[in-house]
Copies of this chain bind each other. A is one copy, B any other.
Amino acid sequence: VIQRPPALEKLLEILRSLPNVGPKMSERIAFHILRMPEDKIRDFIDILEASHAEVRPCPICGHWDDSSPCRVCQDPSRDKTVLCVVENSQDVQAVSRIKNFKGIYHVLGGTLSPLEGIGPDDLQITSLLKRLETEPIQEVILATNSDMEGESTAQYISKQILSVSAKIRGNGRPEGIKITRPAQGLPSGGELEYMDELTLTHAFDGRREFDRN
């Protein structure tokens, strides 16, 4: 086997450390980068530096933004009584596409995952509970993914909120905080024959009376 230049080996190694980049893909990306003209690689490096320096998690909600607090937390038009808890910043982006939701957010930074050694202290749960004590939040939407990790993370947070609510009640804060979770069921355009059992079960359990108008 022909020895490779150490600089190329290092490039391949760091590319392989990126999420979902395997050995074959790291090679393709590496040679793409090597072939970039001088000004393009300069751009690439400038963008890496600028984004890494400017974009940081919001100290209040954890959403990644270039202003601090983030533009969502600073937006006076938002409904500060409804808080949507999500796993990561990309989810904030996704939820923000829902026209009917104009509340605020809290980014956990992941989900509980005993297998990967991620416990409650690795997520932004304490800061969430603090916010419930100090901010006028009336409803918490637990919008973690509808997979096992997301489900059990929602369960865990819900219990924590209930115990905090009990404390808050003594401090004169409004009695209960409403805890909700997005509906589960058939995705839009979903064909019954291709749905898994769990999705069908949720869809049937959550069925509603048909609106005949």
Contacts and interface: CB of A to CB of B under 8 A. Distances in A.
Contacts of A50: 7, 10
A2 B99 CA distance: 11
A2 B71 contact: yes
A55 interface: yes
Interface string A1-39: 111111110110010001111000101111111101000
Interface residues on A, range: 35 or more
A71 B65 CA distance: 47
Interface stretch (A87-95, A143-151, A161-169, A198-206): A87-95
- This chain: copies in complex: 2
A96 interface: yes
- Interface residues of A, dominant DSSP: helix
A43 B29 contact: no
Contacts of A34: 51-52, 55-56, 64
B19 A32 contact: yes
A97 interface: yes
